[in-house]
Structure 1
Amino acid sequence: MRYMATYDLMETLRNTNQWLGATAAAMGSYPATALVPNPFFQLMSAWGEVTERSFERMVAKPDWGILSVVGEDGRDHVVQVEKRVERPFGDLIKFNVAGRAEMKRRILLVAPMSGHYATLLRSTVASLLPDADVYITDWHNARDIPVSKGKFDIEDYTLYLVDFMRYLGPDINVVAVCQPAPLTLAATAYLAELDPEAQPQTLTLIGGPIDPDAAATDVTDFGRRVTMGQLEGLALQRVGFKYKGAGRKVYPGLMQLAGFMSMNAETHSKAFSTQILRVAKDEASDSDKHNRFYDEYLAVMDMTAEFYLSTVERVFKNGEIAKNDFIVDGHKVDIGAITDVAVKTVEGTKDDITAPGQCIAALDLLTGLPADKKASHVEDGAGHYGIFAGKSWRNNIRPLVLDFIDQNAGRHDRQAAKTRAKRDAARKAKLKVVKAAGK
């Protein structure tokens, strides 16, 4: 599997299915087919429309689609996405709300790198924007990153988070969703030891596998059963000739998608068969519930091979975070060094990806943090998606997270002011040098 030809073959199969869908939709919608008193052609056209759309979405990065937000003044304010820090494997972006003063709450959402784009958190961002300035990590598709840019594993990921937190200042409130939770915890501990003035104000970990062995799921069982050699031999491929990252070894997003779909195959099959019937009956729309969900769910990205393998080996198999034995750039991180960052964990009782117990394990690792700076919440009846983007998030979890941020607000304001003043002075000095050089 570790060849460019297999990657291109997989892309060819995807392309072919998209073409078959488009062909079926065109043939089934010929006006002359209306003369046949049989629903066959309507069903063929509907199958083609749903199939074409589904396979087309697999290679398209979704738009954020957050156009405006209502401010405290009751007016709609235009939202623009601005890159604040640009890196080869991921950017730090801010959702600028035009005409709105800087908010007291500043939130960094750490998006997962687990096969989907950061836009998976679109509804999370939209729900927080009215009440906070929101930043997010926007990870890049590995197939679009040239081999010359080097490697990217979980240590590099952690160091990216460290740099993003340093840039944003110590009054930032970090919210990590799912996969990045253990690495965000490690990044915070790294700062606590080596650059304590850059620590965030609060850290909220939502459904993350801090200790995968605390509660078994299909994901943890898979991690135990499969050897690293099997993963490297069967799951990895080299990016084909069509993309900028040609030759880079990756874990393809299409393969990750196949894994996601197989975990709930019956549910997905029913959803698509129902949608085909709805399209045939002319009851579907471009932005109906099915299309809104699957346009995002089917949009997948490749991960670098080293990131995928190091995540499986070091987080799931060896449990380095759970054992407080994680090393970043030669430095052994001590999670117990976190003493001045309020930490909250959030779990869902019906989470089949990160079962209850895996995330709250973080609090036991925080041996240096006072009890009054620790908090946890288990949402009854919530699944994995629901704890950060569904009804449970909107109605219960989001208010609790904002309250947690407010309860711990202001503690780092003085240090944040110093950090900004130092940064502004450095920026002004740089401008003077540039102007002098221009003369």
Structure 2
Amino acid sequence: MYYQLYELNHAALQPYRALADATRLFFENPLNPISQSSYGRSIAALMELFERTTRRYDKPAFNLPETIVGGRKTAVTEEIVWEKPFCNLLHFRRDLPEGRAADPKILLVAPLSGHYATLLRGTVETLLPHAEIYITDWVDARMVPLGEGRFDLDDYIDYLIEMFHVLGENTHVVAVCQPSVPVLAAVAMMEKGGDQFAPSSMTLMGGPIDTRINPTAVNKMAAEKDIDWFRDHVVMPVPWPHPGVMRPVYPGFLQLSGFMSMNLDRHIAAHKDFFFHLVKEDGDSAEKHREFYDEYLAVMDMTAEFYLQTVETVFIRHDLPRGKMKHRGNTVDLSAIRNVALLTVEGENDDISGVGQTEAAQKLCVNIPAQKRMHYLQPRVGHYGVFNGSRFRNEIAPRIVDFIRANDKSAEKAQASSPKRARKS
């Protein structure tokens, strides 16, 4: 019922948004003398603020048409190389010269936790000069018809394994936040089965491997409720006219409410500052606000079965660190991981995945050799800073690239097959 009311409210406000937009254009028109006054700018700013706070934000574009490779500007083209009802595998193909030595392949697994994969635009942009980047572009559950079936945590792991097979040997996987658990489980299942397409390395960033360690407010809330509470309070059917009508989901607008309530004062202050930036004609500051909230306020629905299974497995029962997680009825045995290198990355001020929760993977994967594992704690960054921003670009990303190159098997093969220089007699 709440989802239907949300949709009705959104539809009811549509005429007012149109009126606000028209009013803004009137007061911004340079032919209107009032537009040059403080009064005119205030009205225009108020109308834009109203329109932006009541609209539904569409999925943003990655908008990465080029990158710099080897000091040269290189064109980048997005192409889908694998697709399923709930996910597309997107490749950022770089227009590189023929004969150039191949860069490592990185599968960047975006979180399926409310925001679109474009939240990792900065992550992709930073890694593009160094590797062939593929990213999981998750599909909004409200856009998937019921006839396409279910999608739960087991399906998520199956998707990852299929992607590794599509990308082939010597792939490196980077999991940001939520996918750390299914990525670790997928790698364990592949290693246990002797799968030749298991990745060469995995990098887990700010992920909830063991939320019993240094629990955050998010972890405590999940631990205090049972799974029936989540099923009764946050799962709702998709309303008409969306393609996924009647599909049970955890709606994006509820997730967004949770995100914003954690730092509500900060968001209110940001919108107040945005209003005054517009009045003072501070275009740069206003545009930064637009760019951030165009991304932050664009949210997607998750299937109810995936959300509930994840909450119960990861946050309530802690199945993975307790050695009790199962995939299709088979136990996920982290001790089976022997050949895949492991890098864990955490942020000192992370209020979503507390310090130590991701590093727990280092202790659980007992059979990875010491020379193939590494942990890094980034000072003075929160959750978002683990995968985006200046400290990610300057301090975290170089470590990831170096770790991947150190464990890249194609480089090892090239070195082994290179002719030995003859000794001088």
The TM-score with structure 1 as length reference comes to 0.88
Q: Percent identity?
A: 39
CA deviation map 1:68-115 (0-9, x unaligned): 11232x442221111111101101111011244563211110000000
8 Å contact kept, 1:20–1:48: no
Letter in 1 for 2:77: Q
Partner of 1:357: 356
Partner of 1:280: 279
Distance 2:198 2:166 in 1: 11
RMSD of aligned C-alpha atoms?
A: 2.2
Shift of 1:288: 2.2
Letter in 2 for 1:396: E
Matched, 1:23 2:19: yes
The TM-score with structure 2 as length reference comes to 0.91
- Larger deviation: 245-254 or 21-30? 21-30
**SS across alignment from 1:292:** helix
Q: Check 1:352–1:286 CA distance in 2 against 1; reply closer, same or farther (3 A cut).
A: closer
8 Å contact kept, 1:170–1:199: yes
8 Å contact kept, 1:17–1:51: no
Partner of 2:66: 68
Distance 1:168 1:352 in 2: 34
Shift of 1:22: 4.1
Distance 1:18 1:397 in 2: 43
Partner of 2:8: 12
- Larger deviation: 228-237 or 137-146? 228-237
Shift of 1:328: 0.8
Q: Check 1:243–1:28 CA distance in 2 against 1; reply closer, same or farther (3 A cut).
A: closer
**SS across alignment from 2:79:** strand
Matched, 1:85 2:82: yes
Distance 1:95 1:312 in 2: 32
8 Å contact kept, 2:320–2:332: no
8 Å contact kept, 1:171–1:413: no
Q: Check 1:36–1:260 CA distance in 2 against 1; reply closer, same or farther (3 A cut).
A: closer
8 Å contact kept, 1:18–1:51: no
8 Å contact kept, 1:201–1:412: no
CA deviation map 1:27-78 (0-9, x unaligned): 365459966998555333212213323443x341111100111232x44222
CA deviation map 1:134-161 (0-9, x unaligned): 0011110000000011111111101111
Shift of 1:194: 1.5
8 Å contact kept, 1:54–1:295: no
8 Å contact kept, 1:54–1:298: no
Distance 1:18 1:122 in 2: 30
Distance 2:286 2:362 in 1: 41
8 Å contact kept, 2:68–2:74: yes
Shift of 1:316: 0.5
Matched, 1:96 2:98: no
Partner of 1:431: none
The equivalences for 1:111-122 within 5 A come to 111-122=110-121
Shift of 1:331: 1.4
- Larger deviation: 100-109 or 313-322? 100-109
The equivalences for 1:361-400 within 5 A come to 361-400=360-399
Q: Check 1:305–1:412 CA distance in 2 against 1; reply closer, same or farther (3 A cut).
A: farther
Q: Check 1:295–1:286 CA distance in 2 against 1; reply closer, same or farther (3 A cut).
A: farther
**SS across alignment from 1:165:** helix
8 Å contact kept, 1:158–1:186: yes
Shift of 1:286: 9.6
Letter in 2 for 1:12: L
Shift of 1:8: 2.7
Q: Check 1:123–1:26 CA distance in 2 against 1; reply closer, same or farther (3 A cut).
A: same
8 Å contact kept, 1:239–1:247: yes
The equivalences for 1:14-413 within 5 A come to 14-17=10-13, 19-27=15-23, 30=26, 39=38, 42-56=41-55, 58-72=56-70, 74-100=71-97, 101=100, 103-284=102-283, 288-410=287-409
Letter in 2 for 1:403: D
Shift of 1:284: 2.6
8 Å contact kept, 1:114–1:303: yes
8 Å contact kept, 1:165–1:198: yes
Q: Check 1:287–1:132 CA distance in 2 against 1; reply closer, same or farther (3 A cut).
A: farther
Shift of 1:221: 1.0
8 Å contact kept, 1:201–1:411: no
CA deviation map 1:313-363 (0-9, x unaligned): 111000011112111112111011000011010001100011101000001
8 Å contact kept, 2:180–2:207: yes
8 Å contact kept, 1:21–1:51: yes
- Larger deviation: 95-104 or 267-276? 95-104
Shift of 1:297: 0.5
Letter in 1 for 2:280: K
Distance 1:396 1:112 in 2: 22
Q: Check 1:280–1:373 CA distance in 2 against 1; reply closer, same or farther (3 A cut).
A: same
Q: Which runs of 5+ in 2 are unaligned?
A: 414-425
Paired residue total:
408
Shift of 1:195: 3.6
Q: Check 1:413–1:151 CA distance in 2 against 1; reply closer, same or farther (3 A cut).
A: farther
Letter in 2 for 1:98: D
Distance 1:286 1:316 in 2: 38
Shift of 1:19: 4.6
Distance 1:293 1:16 in 2: 26
**SS across alignment from 1:203:** strand
Q: Check 1:411–1:361 CA distance in 2 against 1; reply closer, same or farther (3 A cut).
A: farther
